[in-house]
Chain A
Amino acid sequence: MGPLVPNEVIGANWNFLIAFVIGIGFGFVLEQAGFSSSRKLAGMFYGYDTVVLKVFFTGAITAMLGLLFFSLFGWINLNLVYVNPTYLWSAIIGGVIMGVGFIAGGFCPGTSICAAAIGKIDAMIFIGGIFLGVFIFGEGFPLWEKLYYAMDLGAPKLNQVLGISGGFFAFLVIIAAAIMFWVGEWAEKKFPREEY
């Protein structure tokens, strides 16, 4: 049955409308969660507000479990779901650069767009920065092309690498998340914050 568009249950011309509706949901949830505030996002890294951790992991786990159950019931063909390819070095170095960008700018691209939508000027500047960063990457592409393609692992799933089932792996992620939530709430009590 699913995914509906790649499986041609729904015509491909609906795909952009679906994207738009899903985007509305995405933006709405991000804003409601408080991801439109850089101070809230950055709070994660100082322990005074771990809402990022909670939302991020609850979201990832919900979708992960949803996919596993959908697949179990035969509602979705996981072979038709896009799995990000893994190029190990660019994933690590790109992630490190993004991590510095996160703590410096207080946003990530999705949240900055959401924040700009409600009038945060710092978020608009951040988006300008993203444009510039993408531009620099593209213009200087030959310089880091080798790194970009280094260590191509295909599109492996972590549970396959570890040799366990997807379900069992999800269970481990949930346990890890439960511990992190507990630590996060402990930190929130330890590092008081003012309401903003």
Chain B
Amino acid sequence: MNNKYMNPYLAGFLLGIVLLMAFFFSGRGLGASGAVKSALVYGMDKVAPTHTVENAYFGHYVADDANPLNNWLVYEILGVIVGGFLSGALSRRLKLKIEHFPGISSKRRLVFALIGGVLFGFGSQLGRGCTSGSALTGMAVLSVGGFVTMAAIFGTAFAGAYFFRKNWIG
């Protein structure tokens, strides 16, 4: 396999088929941040069980000794790691590196990656899903929330692009 990226329309079609299969088999769409939440709750439950159970938001994931890792999204994300790795290996893209626009330092890239992650983590909980869980999946089932979240994410990112231009295009 060559190391060029796939044609975006073909990739989009395949992505749609994967999503359709998720609906057809499991009756649900794809997701990502839910798995992070499950892993986080699992870790919190190991460190501070009482605190976790009493938490208004995380509590019900560990109620009745439930294991938060027994979750569809957790297994799906394990698959994403494997699938991403396989694809990277096939296309010879496996490499430990910090990718960034040459005009900024690696440190700056990492700081902004962390900030972006925090915002995405917070926003995905508030919005009940991220780009894959809420926007992509929601759009496919014509959910109002899916379209609203999609418009809000991309609209804001477009609107905010100007303020972050130094990080990406200098």
Residues of A within 8 A of B (CB): 2-7, 10, 15-34, 36-40, 42-46, 48, 51, 54-64, 66-67, 70, 75-76, 78, 80-88, 90-123, 125-139, 141-142, 144-145, 147-148, 153, 155-159, 161, 166, 169-170, 173, 196
Contacting pair B6 A98 (CB below 8 A): no
Q: For the complex, would chain A's binding face be called helix, strand, loop or mixed by DSSP majority?
A: helix
> Quick one: CB contact mask for B51-88 with A, threshold 8 Å, 1 for yes?
00001111000000000001011011111111111111
Kindly report which residue of chain B lies nearest to residue A88, judged by CB atoms.
Answer: B148
Give bound CA distance, A33 to B15, whole Å: 9
Contacting pair B91 A92 (CB below 8 A): no
Kindly report which residue of chain A lies nearest to residue B26, judged by CB atoms.
Answer: A5
Contacts A24-B79, A46-B169; is A10 near B25 (CB within 8 Å)?
A: yes
Give bound CA distance, A120 to B129, whole Å: 23
Contacting pair A15 B26 (CB below 8 A): yes
Q: How far is the CB of B137 from chain A (nearest CB, A)?
A: 7
Give bound CA distance, A159 to B12, whole Å: 23
Is B165 interfacial (CB 8 A cutoff)? yes
Kindly report which residue of chain A lies nearest to residue B6, judged by CB atoms.
Answer: A32
**Chain B interface size, under 10 / 10 to 19 / 20 to 34 / 35 or more:** 35 or more
Kindly report which residue of chain B lies nearest to residue A129, judged by CB atoms.
Answer: B117
Q: CB within 8 A of A133: which of B39, B122, B134? A: B122
**Which A residues lie within 8 Å of B129 (CB)?**
84
Kindly report which residue of chain A lies nearest to residue B145, judged by CB atoms.
Answer: A86
Q: CB within 8 A of A94: which of B9, B123, B163? A: B123
Contacting pair A32 B91 (CB below 8 A): yes
